[in-house]
Amino acid sequence: MFHGDAFSRYNSQTAIAPKSHRLQTVCQQVVNCGDVSASLLRLPRVDNAIGKCHMPAFDSYEIRKQPRIWSLFRDGPVLLFHRREQLDSVCNEFQQAGYRIVEANWDNADRGEQLLGRLLQSLGIVRSVQPTNRDAFNDLLYDLDASPAEGIVIALRGFHQVQQADPEFAFDVVDILAQHHRLSLLTGTRLLILIEACGSSDEPWPRPVGGSIPLWLDEPPSS
């Protein structure tokens, strides 16, 4: 995220600053240094979020208290599961830790626009006009607010059915969610996406989402 002098100044000037002041300090330094990511900080919705956010970083106390939660966030924006019971188990861990769990059941696959509209409603983003395409879905996700929970975990059950029926749509949706995971690091919201998908643990995910290949967290059922 930080490049050159911006990273050096972050280390030297903010590492020991009180947590409540770090985000705005770092954001201003990035803007001052002309970092390519700085344009995101000038978006009105991002600017508003910065004013009310808490820092998403895990401090040493949280890492010791919740090592499993920290390791899951460390593994990337999107985590994959073959088995629903394993996905449910991880969701329970997050719920007990104070996270808001947003469940989307895509077993009975509707049209793409209907799926996106239902997911936005589950996230608490309700508009009179539902998204008619993926660009509108992406725009509306900027209104996502995790407060007062520790963060948001989106669990997509039955995603494998959409993945098989319309791979391009499925991957685009996951990529959009992964990009908002990255943006959440700037706005103080912890966001993680858990997916019941299809595929083999021995084979890589067909393409990167959010700039990285997601990891499988369980083994496929024995045949």
Share of the chain above pLDDT 90, in %: 24
- This prediction has a pTM of 0.71
The closest alpha carbon to 123, from 105, 145, 93, 108, belongs to 145
Q: What are the structure tokens assigned to 23, written together? A: 């985000």
With bands split at pLDDT 50, 70 and 90, how would you rate the model's confidence at 18?
very low
What pLDDT is recorded for position 131? 66
Which helix (H) or strand (E) segment is 176 a member of? helix 167-187
Given a cut of 70, whether residue 64 has pLDDT beyond it is yes
The closest alpha carbon to 55, from 90, 85, 15, belongs to 15
Asked if 106 and 91 count as a contact pair (C-beta separation under 8 A), the reply is no
Q: Which residue has the higher pLDDT, 114 or 93?
A: 93
What's the average model confidence in pLDDT over 120-142? 82
The closest alpha carbon to 156, from 99, 97, 204, 198, belongs to 198
What pLDDT is recorded for position 204? 62
Q: Which CATH superfamily is domain 62-216 in?
A: Barstar-like (3.30.370.10)
Distance CA 60, CA 46 (A): 27
Q: What are the structure tokens assigned to 19, written together? A: 């947590």
Domain ranges of the chain: 5-42, 62-216
For every residue of 38-63, DSSP letters joined together read HHHHTSHHHHHHHHH----S--HHHH
The closest alpha carbon to 78, from 156, 194, 159, belongs to 194
Distance CA 159, CA 78 (A): 13
In Å, what is the CA distance from 162 to each residue of 20, 106, 145, 171, 207? 41, 7, 26, 10, 16
Task: Using alpha carbons only, give the angle 119, 121, 123 rounded to the nearest 5 degrees.
Answer: 70
Asked if 222 and 83 count as a contact pair (C-beta separation under 8 A), the reply is no
What pLDDT is recorded for position 109? 56
The closest alpha carbon to 72, from 54, 97, 55, belongs to 97
Distance CA 12, CA 8 (A): 6
With bands split at pLDDT 50, 70 and 90, how would you rate the model's confidence at 175?
very high
